[in-house]
Amino acid sequence: MMRRLLLASAAPVGAFALTLVISSITLWAFGSNPFSAYGDMLSHAAKLETQVDILNRATPLYLSAVAAAIGFRMNLFNIGVEGQYLFAFLIAAQVGSMLALPQLLHIPLIMITAMAVGGAYAGIAGILKVTRGVNEVISTIMLNAIAISGVIAWLQQRWQADQAQFTSTTLGTNPIDESGLFPHINGLLEIFTRDIAQGKELTGLLLVAIAVGLGYHFLLTRMRFGFDLRASGLNPFAARAGGIPPKRMVVAAMFLSGAIAGLIGMVELADTAKFPPDPIKGLGFAGIAVALLGRNNPFAMVLSALLFAFLDISAGILQNTEAATKEIVNIMQGIVLLAAVIAYGVSKRVQEREEARFTAEALAETEPSGVTS
Amino acid sequence: MSAVIELTGITKRFPGVVANDEVNLTVERGEIHAICGENGAGKSTLMKILYGMQQADEGTMKVDGEVVTFNSPNDAIDAGIGMVHQHFMLADQLTVLENVVLGAEPVRVGGAIDFKEAKAHLAEVGADYGLTIDPDDMVETLEVGERQRVEIIKVLYRGAQILILDEPTAVLVPQEVEALFDNMRELKAGGATILFIDHKLDEVLEISDSITILRQGKTVATLKNDGVTAHDLAELMVGSELPSPETGESTVTDHVALSVRDVTVVDDDGRSVIENINLTIHKGEILGIAGVEGNGQAELVDAIIGTAAISHGIVELLGTDITSMSVRKRRESGIAYVPEDRHHEGLMLQAPLWENAALGHQTQKPYGSKWFMNRDGARAQTELIREQFDVRTPNIDVAAHALSGGNQQKLIIGRELTSDPSLLLAAHPTRGIDVGAQAAVWEQIRDARAAGLATLLISADLDELIGLSDTIVVMLRGRMVARLAPSDVTPRDLGAYMTGAASQDEPNHDQRRVVQ
């Protein structure tokens, strides 16, 4: 038992160690002192306001990772989370700004809109795959381009707040009323600490992300759809022979993945109250990395989202303290991914061999070998 | 003539099964030598050992009289042995020449590929062996037969004198087979030795000089091809001992469980893979289907379970038309399915046993319902299967890959039979498992038959077919060619029908006990 636990933790620990070594060499090669850089990163991470920043960053990263993981679980590569969340963000912001409703209706309506738009946009890739055989990697990448450089760019201009300034796109959409904004949860922080978060606000979407994570876990382990999803990923042929409709699963998984992707932009929306002229981009792609590092596991992805958020936030800190260039953070994110992929590959082989050996041994003990002397 | 290849006492074990059991093989220089045998007889394993893809546990290999050990195909290539796989390994977007030199490029000073030299060498090889092909053709424009020729040239280009062809005719249409045989004769005239795997007996008799027959991992005989008939070969391939599995008393009832009427299935190219099949299986009846692999048996099963679209005809289960039902609906209405390849369609190898037991039944009690899985119910049911079907495993949480083939198969048989089915589709239920597990599977199928289960049994093991079935149907080229009673048929007769050496008129009209 101990041995199995050790084996399971060997991969992440090994990946982490490898990352530290390579990052240190890189830092040293660029003339920085790796220890002072790590020191700065850690000492800031010990401060409450940095922790709030990390959580605010980890929230959309985690949602994005779950969105990607739903597809990965059945070998569907939804590379289009990026386009899906930005598109959903824009439409939800616009719809929200056109309505005046009580808070209890306004917020859910905006979120449902975002999920429906994200889901439908991802669903296009699913439908293309099952009807025309278009590989989802290609179609989602193309749909990203269509959404970001096409539809969003156009609608952003049409829907900008002040039509008089038609020439600029600096305004964003009309602001949403207070009733449509997901409340911050600094109150929760005060339960844990008396420190003030220095004007930082902890996003309420953190609770949504936790609920999504639990829901994802429940879906995979307790629900028939989750079983079908995993079976389709583990062996699509056995799944089909087992009565799981492959086409319907592809469309459903893409829709669900896109719907979760739709929630990513809600974190920023709660802050800005509108689709800003320059929204945070790249969360969709980062989510793929987070899911990869967390092996699509709902709990491991929490840790990997926190790690990526920590590194993201550290970039700004390193720039301020001038201990190292901020790009080292991107290098570290890259290395940790590569190291993890290698370490997981190795540990999977070792585990499989161990399991076969364990089974053979357990059987040898319980059964007479048939040889008597 | 001297022996160019001499294999003695080759033994290769896989978990739970002996693939090669003291196999001996002697091949003379310059001959065409066929290796025949049923699927699972160990032909492919033997060829993989000879080509260095797998290592024998015991036995010695001699090439040109010298003892050799091959740790990889590279060693085999160095010894002058080349293999052409059944599935081609060519890059479509490259030319014939580029494909041929890929991995063995002549390099000029500075690292550039010397295409001139390559072309000259290719032309030389072509002239030596009488193989012609335009080196500048794009591979994607070539026909299947031409691609195969490219594969052969690829091997010759690397200096092989001994060629192994793995079921070379399986992918070819008859005219292409003729062309291949002409090429093989040219190769032989050029001094090459050819070993090839085939189980179409007429082809073997047409082209080979010698024939070695394997059965259940053992060498049965090596014969010179003179005066041998397809009947002789069939008998050697399937063995003619008394059938070991026996069903005893007939339990066939008058209630029709499955009725297949006029069913036709076409492949992607629009060619029919099964044509106008008519079958009736009653409760308590085992209907066996005999046929050389690839004659439509798999497609018939696919049509009944619902993974292949039926282009024409009707399938009825217990009087209900299921022709347009989904696989899941069919399974829920009582069709159990033991697929021919447990790793391909039967199991999720990385998942624990209890999840594997649920697969195919996850919408039904005790495994789950429309929305939710019932973990406790599924686990309890898996424990039950483990006990009743003697699945040897330390617990039900180990991943399926850790089990031996026989135990994996018992798990599949268990999950299908405990689901209270009214029809069992069993494709090669005892393939690749050891004798003990085989007997257990027979026992389970017999018990289910006595309890009133209707079974469609496909098997390459003719003793198993004759021993278990109440009725035997022979399929050839997607059609039913014979309907026989197992009590008065021998493996030799079956072999004759399977290879087209014998035929029955209108077997479809010989439906006994037809209830309409």
**CA nearest to B316, candidates B279, B286, B265:** B279
| Contact assessment for residue A106 and residue A99, using Cβ atoms and an 8 Å cutoff | yes
Instruction: Indicate the residue of A234, A240, A243 with minimum beta-carbon distance to B348.
Output: A234
Contact A237 B344 (CB under 8 A): yes
Across the range B298-303, mean pLDDT stands at: 93
Q: Is B325 on the interface with A (CB under 8 A)?
A: no
Contact B345 A225 (CB under 8 A): no
User: What pLDDT is recorded for position B507?
Assistant: 60
Higher model confidence: residue A1 or residue B69?
Answer: B69
Contact B373 A237 (CB under 8 A): no
B511 — pLDDT class (breaks 50, 70, 90): very low
Phi and psi (nearest 5°) for B16?
Answer: 85, 0
Q: Where are the domains of chain A?
A: 33-324
Domains (range + CATH), chain B: 3-238 (3.40.50.300), 254-334+421-516 (3.40.50.300), 348-420 (no CATH)
Residue type, B81: I
User: Could you count the other beta carbons within 10 Å of the beta carbon of residue B240?
Assistant: 13
- Interface test mutation site (partner A, options B14, B343, B348, max chain A beta carbons within 10 A): B348
- Report the share of chain B in percent with pLDDT over 70: 92
User: What pLDDT is recorded for position B139?
Assistant: 87
User: What pLDDT is recorded for position A240?
Assistant: 94
User: What pLDDT is recorded for position A342?
Assistant: 87
- Interface test mutation site (partner A, options B325, B332, B345, max chain A beta carbons within 10 A): B345
| pLDDT per position as a tens digit, A320-363 | 887 778 888 888 888 888 888 888 888 888 888 888 777 777 77
User: What pLDDT is recorded for position B284?
Assistant: 92
Instruction: Indicate the residue of B337, B346, B362 with minimum beta-carbon distance to A227.
Output: B362
| pLDDT per position as a tens digit, B317-365 | 999 999 999 999 999 999 999 998 888 999 999 999 999 999 999 999 8
Contact B394 A358 (CB under 8 A): yes
Please list, in sequence order, all residues whose beta carbon lies within 8 angstroms of the beta carbon of residue B56, skipping any fewer than 6 positions away: B10, B11, B12, B20, B49
Judging contacts by C-beta atoms under 8 Å, the chain B residues touching residue A242 are: 327, 331, 359-362
A129 — pLDDT class (breaks 50, 70, 90): very high
Give the helix, strand, coil percentages of chain A, each rounded to 5: 75, 0, 25
* Mean per-residue pLDDT over chain B, rounded: 86
User: What pLDDT is recorded for position B241?
Assistant: 47
* Tokens (6 digits) for B387: 């006990």
Contact B370 A240 (CB under 8 A): no
| pLDDT per position as a tens digit, B201-253 | 778 888 999 999 888 788 888 988 888 887 788 778 766 543 456 666 778 88
B35 — pLDDT class (breaks 50, 70, 90): very high
| pLDDT per position as a tens digit, B487-507 | 888 877 887 888 777 777 656
CATH class of the domain comprising A33-324: mainly alpha
- A225: nearest CA partner in chain B: B371
A53 — pLDDT class (breaks 50, 70, 90): very high
A130 — pLDDT class (breaks 50, 70, 90): very high
User: What pLDDT is recorded for position B16?
Assistant: 58
The two beta strands, B286-290 and B423-427, are unpaired
Q: Min CA distance, A221 vs chain B (Å)?
A: 8
Instruction: Indicate the residue of B346, B361, B393 with minimum beta-carbon distance to A359.
Output: B393
Give the residue numbers in A contacting B (CB under 8 Å), as ranges. Answer: 221-228, 230-231, 234-235, 237-245, 352, 355-356, 358-359, 362-363, 366-367
Q: Min CA distance, A30 vs chain B (Å)?
A: 35
- Interface test mutation site (partner B, options A224, A344, A353, A361, max chain B beta carbons within 10 A): A224
A369 — pLDDT class (breaks 50, 70, 90): very low
Q: Is B434 on the interface with A (CB under 8 A)?
A: no
Judging contacts by C-beta atoms under 8 Å, the chain A residues touching residue B330 are: 243
* Tokens (6 digits) for B158: 């690397």
Give the helix, strand, coil percentages of chain B, each rounded to 5: 35, 25, 40
Contact B373 A352 (CB under 8 A): no
**Predicted-complex ipTM score:** 0.84
Q: Report DSSP letters for A298-342, one per residue.
A: TTHHHHHHHHHHHHHHHHHHHHHHTSS-THHHHHHHHHHHHHHHH
Mean pLDDT is lowest, of A70-74, A197-201, B66-70, for: A197-201
Residue located via tokens 């009743």: B388
Contact A242 B362 (CB under 8 A): yes
Q: Tell me: pLDDT of B270 over 90.
A: no
- B345: nearest CA partner in chain A: A238
| pLDDT per position as a tens digit, B364-401 | 989 999 999 999 999 999 999 999 998 888 889 999 98
What count of CB pairs under 8 Å joins A to B?
104
User: What pLDDT is recorded for position A373?
Assistant: 33
* Tokens (6 digits) for B179: 């062309």
Q: Tell me: pLDDT of A368 over 90.
A: no
Q: Min CA distance, B379 vs chain A (Å)?
A: 13
* Mean per-residue pLDDT over chain A, rounded: 87
Q: Is B376 on the interface with A (CB under 8 A)?
A: no
B510 — pLDDT class (breaks 50, 70, 90): very low
d(CA B309, CA B324): 9
Q: Min CA distance, B135 vs chain A (Å)?
A: 33
| pLDDT per position as a tens digit, A303-323 | 999 999 999 998 888 888 877
Beta-bridged to residue B424, according to DSSP, are B336, B455
Instruction: Indicate the residue of A222, A234, A245 with minimum beta-carbon distance to B351.
Output: A234
